[in-house]
């Protein structure tokens, strides 16, 4: 396999929120809040913690890979045959926080997963925005 054939696709969604990183971090790491904007889960911000995200369409198996409180969170996102990595980066701004979500690892022969992520993540972030507006 050539190097070009091994390359994978990524989905990146960036959005600035008028909230401090600490508030967004809570919504990214507290299971009851994650359930409101993403899926049911048993998340814990602990490196090596395995958890499942579940929705009516199925489940995603995950493992926490990196935790930098209020700055960066990374976990695997395995929905066979898709094996990918989701990384959240929080960057303080003058008016709040720039939140960047990058999901990497989409193979070129997985257009359905790639297209689903490109459509799905902006909707999840819309729902996250609603949760952030509601919590103190």
- CATH (residue range 14-131): 3.30.530.20
Mean pLDDT, rounded, of the chain? 95
Boundaries of every domain in the chain: 14-131
Instruction: Over range 101-124, report the average pLDDT.
Output: 96
Q: What is the pLDDT of residues 61-82, one digit of tens each?
A: 999 999 999 999 999 999 989 9
Q: What is the pLDDT of residues 22-59, one digit of tens each?
A: 999 999 999 999 999 999 999 999 999 999 999 998 89
Say how far apart CA 60 and CA 39 lie, in whole Å.
10
Percentage above 90 pLDDT, the chain: 91
Band of pLDDT at residue 2, cut at 50, 70 and 90 = very low
């Amino acid at each position: 396999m050539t190097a070009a054939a091994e390359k994978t696709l990524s989905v990146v969604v960036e959005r600035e929120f008028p909230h401090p990183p600490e508030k967004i971090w809570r919504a990214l790491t507290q299971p009851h809040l994650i359930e409101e904007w993403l899926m049911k889960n048993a998340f814990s911000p602990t490196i090596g913690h395995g958890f499942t995200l579940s929705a009516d369409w199925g489940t995603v198996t995950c493992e926490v890979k990196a935790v930098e409180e209020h700055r960066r969170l990374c976990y695997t996102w395995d929905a066979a045959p898709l094996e990918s990595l989701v990384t959240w980066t929080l960057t303080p701004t003058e008016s709040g926080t720039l939140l960047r979500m990058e999901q990497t690892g989409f193979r070129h022969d997985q257009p359905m997963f790639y297209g689903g992520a490109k459509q799905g993540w902006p909707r999840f972030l819309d729902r996250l925005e609603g949760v952030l507006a509601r919590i103190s």
